Structure 1
Amino acid sequence: MTAAYDDFAGAYTAENETSLMNAYYERPATLALVGDAAGRRILDAGCGSGPLFAALRDKGAVVSGFDQSAAMVAHAKARLGADADLRVADLTDPLPYPDAEFDDVVASLVLHYLRDWDPVLAEFRRVLKPGGRLIASVNHPMMINLTHRHEGPRPDYFEQYTWTDEFELHGEKARMTFWNKPLHAMTDAFTAAGFRIAVVSEPHPVPEAQELFPGDFEILDTFPSFLFFVLEAG
């Protein structure tokens, strides 16, 4: 996905600022699960252009962030300033942080790009303090069944497979490929990595989005696109 995000980094950054899915649904839900962030050391894993990093910093957190796309990190630096702790790093490699460095790791819409979660979760567990939290959002495992219900045979919920979709991001076409996992495969991976599942959340978009996105709001308000977890490191 590195090359893809480099190609449409500007369009993705602009879309993320005001879109229903990001600005009025995923980001508010993630911030609500983080709760009181004042004074907490938080790692924004897959930080993109930095909107979540900025929101966490505004809430008083001490934030570090990384993304595998250099173009996205460049947008984040432009937003957050030269003193922001931002790095280019790949989730599939060892993370460039010491053991037990963070109170929280936030992985916002990143795990569903990966086939194998085990090494990534092990690294998240390593950089978390004992009792620290992983707050993660991923594609809802039923979303593809809804999205593709009129496009041939219904996908097998229990299979793990890739699927590609095309999105319009601020006037540009972007193709993204995801790994579909059933819920039990996600929870099995979390517990095998040493996490305790504290919260599973299927939130609604924030109410003020109804006037801004009347048609899309109704769909999202009655069927979740994303699934959210709060996981505690043992």
Structure 2
Amino acid sequence: MTAVTGDSADTPINDYDSFAEAYTAENEHSLVNAYYARPAILELAGDVAGRRILDAGCGSGPLFEALRDRGAVVSGFDASAAMVELARRRLGEDASLRVADLSEPLPFPDGAFDDVVSALVLHYLKDWTAPLAELRRVLKPRGRLIMAVNHPFVYKLVNPEADYFATCQWSDEYTFDGQKAVLTYWHRPLHAMTDAFTAAGFRTAVVSEPPPAPGAHERFPDELADRQAFLCFLFFVLEAV
């Protein structure tokens, strides 16, 4: 993990179009995605039958698919055209999918959705003000935003010299299905997250640090050993007020 300060022109860009297929192949059955982030979001969502749900940052569509299989009426968008194309292959031509950027106004009417799910998206953004306002706008009153971001303590754990309370940029290199890629995130402390939620018109209903899904220990014995939980992502259920 490499900390990056400021807005340097040399900072890597999260160009998912360039590694969309490798990312999808790697995370189809990975610990942190298939056995942690996705099942945790689904558990927090509960019974979604008949609910109108927006998958904000849908990637190649695995969460969209799981929600649809549970009876939800799902729409999705992603900033990566390559990811949306992979999602369309997975979900079918009639799936409600489009290319859109959460940092810009969303192409959906006010109050269109009962829930929004946003898995591992907001931590790519420096400023949460406009994105959260847009997600609040497209939710009906008392609708839910169910989201996951990088756990803020992990940044400090890996970089002991870093200032936990500063909002700062950092990057890490990954290998997805044999292809190297750099992802760049924005760290912010927990209080900055909850302050942003409140300012956008949300009430924080749930903060969760869940264990991995059943079967994870059998599939990933080396990574998990005897641990029942681990620090990775932080999950929220927010209610539009």
Task: Give the TM-score of the pair, scaled to structure 2.
Answer: 0.92
The equivalent position to 1:57 in structure 2, one of 47, 65, 68, is: 68
> Is 1:209 matched with 2:216?
yes
Q: How far, CA to CA, are the matches of 1:220 and 1:70 in structure 2?
A: 38
SS in 2 for 1:18: coil
Cα shift readout 1:136-190 (whole Å, capped 9, x = no counterpart):
10000011223345xxxx2111011000001111111110000000000000000
SS in 1 for 2:104: coil
- Name the count of aligned residue pairs: 230
- Of structures 1 and 2, the one with the larger relative CO (CA 8 A, separation 6+) is 2
For residues 217-228 of structure 1, the aligned pairs below 5 Å read 217-218=224-225, 221-228=228-235
Cα separation, partners in 2 of 1:110 and 1:219, compared to 1, 3 Å: farther
The equivalent position to 1:6 in structure 2, one of 17, 20, 43, is: 17
The equivalent position to 2:139 in structure 1, one of 104, 112, 128, is: 128
Query: How many percent identity over aligned positions?
Result: 66
Q: How far, CA to CA, are the matches of 2:226 and 2:89 in structure 1?
A: 34
SS in 1 for 2:186: strand
- Matching residue's letter, 1:48: G
Q: How far, CA to CA, are the matches of 1:63 and 1:74 in structure 2?
A: 16
For residues 172-211 of structure 1, the aligned pairs below 5 Å read 172-211=179-218
> 1:221, CA displacement in angstroms?
4.0
The equivalent position to 2:127 in structure 1, one of 99, 116, 122, is: 116
Whether contact under 8 Å (1:205, 1:220) holds in the other structure is no
- Matching residue's letter, 1:233: A
Q: How far, CA to CA, are the matches of 1:219 and 1:86 in structure 2?
A: 40
Cα shift readout 1:86-120 (whole Å, capped 9, x = no counterpart):
00001111000000000000010000000100100
Q: Which runs of 4+ in 1 moved over 6 A?
A: none
- Matching residue's letter, 1:206: A
Q: How far, CA to CA, are the matches of 2:38 and 2:201 in structure 1?
A: 26
Cα separation, partners in 2 of 1:219 and 1:175, compared to 1, 3 Å: farther
> 1:220, CA displacement in angstroms?
6.9
> Unaligned regions of 5+ residues in structure 1, if any?
none
Whether contact under 8 Å (2:13, 2:184) holds in the other structure is no
Which residue of structure 2 lines up, in the alignment, with residue 139 of structure 1?
150
Whether contact under 8 Å (2:174, 2:181) holds in the other structure is yes
CA RMSD of aligned residues (A): 1.4
Which residue of structure 2 lines up, in the alignment, with residue 47 of structure 1?
58
Q: How far, CA to CA, are the matches of 2:137 and 2:217 in structure 1?
A: 41
Q: How far, CA to CA, are the matches of 1:111 and 1:218 in structure 2?
A: 30
Q: Which has the higher helix share?
A: 1
Cα shift readout 1:183-221 (whole Å, capped 9, x = no counterpart):
000000000101000000000111311121112124874
- Matching residue's letter, 1:113: Y
SS in 2 for 1:130: strand
Answer with 210-219 or 42-51: which moved more. Answer: 210-219
> Is 1:97 matched with 2:108?
yes
Whether contact under 8 Å (1:205, 1:217) holds in the other structure is no
